[in-house]
Amino acid sequence: MDMRSPKHQKARKDDEKQILVVGISGSMRDSSYTRMAVMIALRGAQQVGARTQLIDLRDYHLAFFDGREDESSYPEDVFRLRKGVKAAQGLILATPEYHGSLSGVLKNALDLMGFDEIEGKMIGLVGVAGGRMGAANALNSLRTIGRTLHAWVIPEQVSIPEVRKVFDESGNLKDPELEKRVKEVGRQVARFAYLHTSEKAAEFLRLWEDTPVNPGG
């Protein structure tokens, strides 16, 4: 029996429902714009009540994925990464555009994970690019990766072209409209992750999946 006050119990219940959104920054560079962008998206998630955590791949000493039989020989940080991602209901994947795709360090981090960590999660995408064409190719690749891992990649995404010009010295975006769009990625990830994990939504999905004949099929 729970002996705590009803107020305390309710607070605990609300806390249990609180969504965790984890942002992964896919650049190893000091003063990375990707990291600045993902921090803004995470602030958007916080605004709608989510807890957030940054996984900065610079702080993780990972190995290249090599398909080894005995995974216990991977560095401890591989398991720290997997655990951190697995705990989240929502993810923000942020990458620089590198040679028309996502960064190798982010791809390797994703290769070290799989369905176990990513399936069923809500994912938002943010990309930055040095050039005028933006990060659309990196974002498309990440969208395909998310689909392949059976995640829910939200339609809203942000590509920031000519990224050297857009941040101020504190890491904020100079253009409030752009700031709003980046935050919106985080907000939507948190909101849809909440809906996706709510009991009512789960009940709807159960009924839908148990329907003997798909009327639209």
- The pair of three-digit structure tokens given for residue 78, joined into one six-digit string: 């591989």
Is 188 a binding residue for ligand FMN by CB under 6 A? The answer is: no
Nearest residue to the partner ligand FMN, using Cβ: 131
Given candidates 33, 167, 192, 194, which one binds ligand FMN under the rule CB under 6 A? 33
CA distance 99 to 120: 29
Task: Select 49 or 161, whichever has its Cβ closest to ligand FMN.
Answer: 161
Q: 204: burial class by Cβ within 10 Å (0-12, 13-18, 19+)? A: exposed
Given candidates 97, 121, 141, 191, which one binds ligand FMN under the rule CB under 6 A? 97
Is 129 a binding residue for ligand FMN by CB under 6 A? The answer is: yes
- Shortest gap between Cβ of 145 and ligand FMN (angstroms)? 18
In the shown chain, the binding pattern of residues 138 to 177 toward ligand FMN, with x for contact by CB under 6 A and - for none, equals -------------------------x--------------
Is 130 a binding residue for ligand FMN by CB under 6 A? The answer is: yes
Summarize the chain as % helix, strand, coil (round to 5): 50, 20, 35
Residue reference for tokens 């989240």: 88
Is 32 a binding residue for ligand FMN by CB under 6 A? The answer is: yes
- The pair of three-digit structure tokens given for residue 112, joined into one six-digit string: 């070290």
Distance of CA 156 to the CA centre of its chain: 13
Handedness of CA 23, 28, 95, 83 (dihedral sign): negative
Is 59 a binding residue for ligand FMN by CB under 6 A? The answer is: no
Stretch that binds ligand FMN, among 11-19, 73-81, 129-137, 140-148 (CB under 6 A): 129-137
Sheet holding 122-128, edge to edge: 51-56, 20-25, 90-96, 122-128, 152-160
CA distance 81 to 128: 23
Stretch that binds ligand FMN, among 25-33, 61-69, 82-90, 149-157 (CB under 6 A): 25-33
- Shortest gap between Cβ of 167 and ligand FMN (angstroms)? 9
Are the CB atoms for 132 and 139 separated by under 8 Å?
no
Is 49 a binding residue for ligand FMN by CB under 6 A? The answer is: no
Stretch that binds ligand FMN, among 2-10, 27-35, 53-61, 79-87 (CB under 6 A): 27-35
Is 55 a binding residue for ligand FMN by CB under 6 A? The answer is: no
Is 40 a binding residue for ligand FMN by CB under 6 A? The answer is: no
Helix or strand (DSSP H, E) at 136? helix 136-148
